[in-house]
Structure 1
């Protein structure tokens, strides 16, 4: 399997894990954790926009557009941001995201984001765009 095919597979898997994390975030009322006004309404609209952006990025990646690889890096960054932010909150003793599946989603996001970043770099080096 070439690096482009791996990039596509990792992108969709990482996106699925991040969307599931965002569902989990609604349970934990993440907007309160980050001090975001607007409650669940704004949180849902924000997540809708994110899903649409990343689905468009997936479409572009599948079509081997260079911009698709940029979206891959954007998704990697979003995943790593989520992991760093939640690791900070866990480190300072916040009670949110301490259930086993919540933690597993964060670990999976970290692993997938790192691997996706490496494979995306390799795909660009291989000239897959």
Structure 2
């Protein structure tokens, strides 16, 4: 089960990082009213991407901390989908193109599967 979690974590990481690339295109800092423009947005992502990749290493090592990182990543994916669907429902134009919607939908599906696997491994730790 831990090996399966590794692959779901990796897939989710790729999807979420691609979403963040898409977010830079859509100037997501304006959507969430984050200060600093593109500079602040990029600075925030340096430690975030490091943590996502560090979590992948911990999941690969089958550590309990890796499960916590996996839990956080899967919940982050569910949050990303939910928040963006909220803004789309409110009439915002960002993230309405097919590839953006595909990435967000894939994030939701992968995050839910990852969450189930992670919780199963935590319960059986």
Q: Same fold (TM over 0.5)?
A: yes
Give me the TM-score of the superposition, normalised by structure 1: 0.93
Q: Report the 3-state secondary structure (helix = DSSP H, G, I; strand = E; otherwise coil) of the residue aligned with 2:66.
A: helix
CA contact (8 A) 1:12 1:58 kept: yes
Cα separation, 2, equivalents of 1:108 and 1:99: 14
Deviations 1:77-107 (A, max 9, x none): 1111111110100000100000000000000
Q: Which has the higher contact order (CA 8 A, sep 6+)?
A: 1
| Residue 34 of structure 1: aligned partner | 32
Structure 2 residue runs without a partner (length 5+): none
1:18 paired residue number: 16
Aligned-pair distance for 1:48? 1.4
For these two proteins, the number of residue pairs brought into alignment is: 125
TM-score of the aligned structures, taking structure 2 as reference length: 0.96
RMSD over equivalenced CA pairs, Å: 0.9
Moved over 6 A (4+): none
Q: Distance in 1 between matches of 2:95 and 2:49?
A: 21
